[in-house]
Structure 1
């Protein structure tokens, strides 16, 4: 009797998850189409199709689509995938529903390194990428090293506390350097706001290997993360190597969030919001939660970018500002909802 009832229970769950996956893929495709079509100048479907498939160098639509909108759309998909998956990993490893990738010091480390790069005369975006990625990597290693210094290795609590400490320290260093150097402040403020505009295809090519490696590690880390969600003692009893699982998870988060932050600057709230959206569709199983969070991240980021182009057209609002305006109410609602069930 058990053998006949289990498939019946699992089938609706599997069908709903597949349906959610198909819906999010469709949402990403729709967001890509809107990103190519909408902006300061609205283009027709025919103009977009010819610009992508059979470009005419003399047509204005070709320059708009291929030189401006297509590169930022590709980068938006990559960065959205990265931040969505990194957010699901971060919340899973810390068992904290309001955690995002910045909790590991990634944004603070990247910002600090970019300011150092500006001090050395780096002005191009391609130069910022490597400074920002190196800063994110070193800050995350410092957080992980501090959290692992206690008995039993890193835990959700020690990771969160170490991340907050390193972020505060690096942010204070960054602010002190900017206060004393107006030229650095003027350059830095255009990067730190978080934006997809002004990025060429070369930026997407540079971050693609890191994001691809991070996504593969995130998917490989999903089964262990399910076990860790039951508690570390239970995970060890089930045969999981907790330290190895934590290490793989942190490496994946650093690769994903570090590359995304390096390419676009700090983009707040995306890694916080989309895992909750995906969890409502698929439940807590990280084998489904991580890929659905990645797809939701790509769709939400592109839609926020499109909205930023339209609200003050022909000018545009930076993507990081749009997400902050949308994410802040979501964060407040999440905290208020959790406050009613938390018992100290």
Structure 2
């Protein structure tokens, strides 16, 4: 019997529900902080009036034109990365599964630098779809190199490392000979939700929603697949179809988020580990937890980045890499961390 079948009953439904409610409360609080905190501090009263009863003041403009789009992009991209990480780790039964480790970020970067340097595309709107396509191609390539159904954590890590090295070598090579590409990539590859055009989120939101809904629809089949192909078939799941649709969902979620924000590391890797200790490995609970707690992490790190060097800012991708790495090391060293 798999870990999914054993561990899930040990987590009472009341505890799981309480965890979801806590995540919702934390998300509301961090959203308010994201709207109120920055180089200019704005009171919560003014945040409320700026959102629902604007008077045309400077604070209203800051809230509605700068911080609200930034917050929505951070919440959407965080949820997408968290859900994708949960699906990826469950599907592959691999605790190393993460968009960055499996080549999604490298594939998106390679496609973007190609669009900039070779095709002369210089706007976020122009290379948005290149990033999405590159992420999709890299995901399929790494899983194929890792052995597809026979994939193991070691083989996938090696395949991801090889793909990342090759793709980033290509990116660095093009940047070396094209200063325009280097400058454009510098603004995209740092991983940020600041100064992003809200229209970018509008463009990829249908993809993120489709990927999220598909992930939740597959949650029961993913739980069955965790017990092995034979057990999954006995429970009515179709392993090949579940894997194929899961890869589609991962690509839509990771590719869309990376295309808008650039590569933001550790979110899809760390959040499923953190919440699995409370909700268990059952995807029917794991994915909603990831959808709530991942945007809490992204927006929380973004707020920290705004105040730690105020009035300057540290981009969210740098903060998540710093805190995410430290917290992840702590989690994997604890004996109580739930295993896949």
TM-score after normalising by structure 1: 0.89
Note if contact 1:24-1:295 (Cα within 8 Å) is conserved in structure 2: yes
Aligned to 1:109: 107
Distance 1:52 1:152 in 2: 49
Aligned to 1:93: 91
How many residue pairs match? The answer is: 329
Q: Does 1:249 align with 2:246?
A: yes
Cα RMSD (Å)? 2.4
Aligned to 1:36: 35
Aligned to 2:126: 127
Distance 2:25 2:325 in 1: 26
Q: Does 1:196 align with 2:193?
A: yes
Structure 1 residues 162, 236: closer, same or farther in 2, change over 3 A?
farther
Structure 1 residues 277, 151: closer, same or farther in 2, change over 3 A?
closer
> What is the CA-CA distance between 1:20 and the residue it aligns to?
0.7
Structure 1 residues 308, 234: closer, same or farther in 2, change over 3 A?
same
Aligned to 1:259: 256
Note if contact 1:226-1:286 (Cα within 8 Å) is conserved in structure 2: yes
The higher radius of gyration belongs to 1
Q: How does 1:1-344 map to 2 (within 5 A)?
A: 13-57=12-56, 59-119=57-117, 120-146=119-145, 160-334=157-331, 336=333
Distance 1:327 1:99 in 2: 15
Structure 1 residues 163, 243: closer, same or farther in 2, change over 3 A?
farther
> What is the CA-CA distance between 1:183 and the residue it aligns to?
2.6
Distance 2:207 2:329 in 1: 32
Distance 1:74 1:220 in 2: 24
For residues 38-89 of structure 1, give each alpha carbon's deviation from its aligned partner in whole angstroms, at most 9, with x where no partner exists.
00000012211121112122x1101110110000001111001100101111
Aligned to 2:5: none
Distance 1:142 1:272 in 2: 20
Note if contact 2:96-2:157 (Cα within 8 Å) is conserved in structure 1: no
Distance 1:12 1:225 in 2: 18
Distance 1:270 1:211 in 2: 16
Residues 98-107 or 267-276, more deviating: 98-107
Distance 1:334 1:23 in 2: 20
Aligned to 1:3: none
Secondary structure of the structure 1 residue equivalent to 2:310: coil
For residues 272-319 of structure 1, give each alpha carbon's deviation from its aligned partner in whole angstroms, at most 9, with x where no partner exists.
111112112211111010111111001110111111000001110000
> What is the CA-CA distance between 1:104 and the residue it aligns to?
3.3
Note if contact 1:217-1:252 (Cα within 8 Å) is conserved in structure 2: yes
For residues 235-270 of structure 1, give each alpha carbon's deviation from its aligned partner in whole angstroms, at most 9, with x where no partner exists.
233332111111111111100000000000000001
Residues 31-40 or 175-184, more deviating: 175-184
Structure 1 residues 35, 64: closer, same or farther in 2, change over 3 A?
same
For residues 119-178 of structure 1, give each alpha carbon's deviation from its aligned partner in whole angstroms, at most 9, with x where no partner exists.
12222222232221121122223334545xx69676766655544433332122112111
Residues 328-337 or 120-129, more deviating: 328-337
Distance 2:85 2:11 in 1: 27
- Flag structure 2 segments of 5+ consecutive residues without an equivalent: 1-7
Structure 1 residues 64, 144: closer, same or farther in 2, change over 3 A?
same
Note if contact 2:27-2:292 (Cα within 8 Å) is conserved in structure 1: yes
For residues 195-220 of structure 1, give each alpha carbon's deviation from its aligned partner in whole angstroms, at most 9, with x where no partner exists.
00011221211111010000011111
Distance 1:106 1:310 in 2: 30
Distance 2:259 2:12 in 1: 38
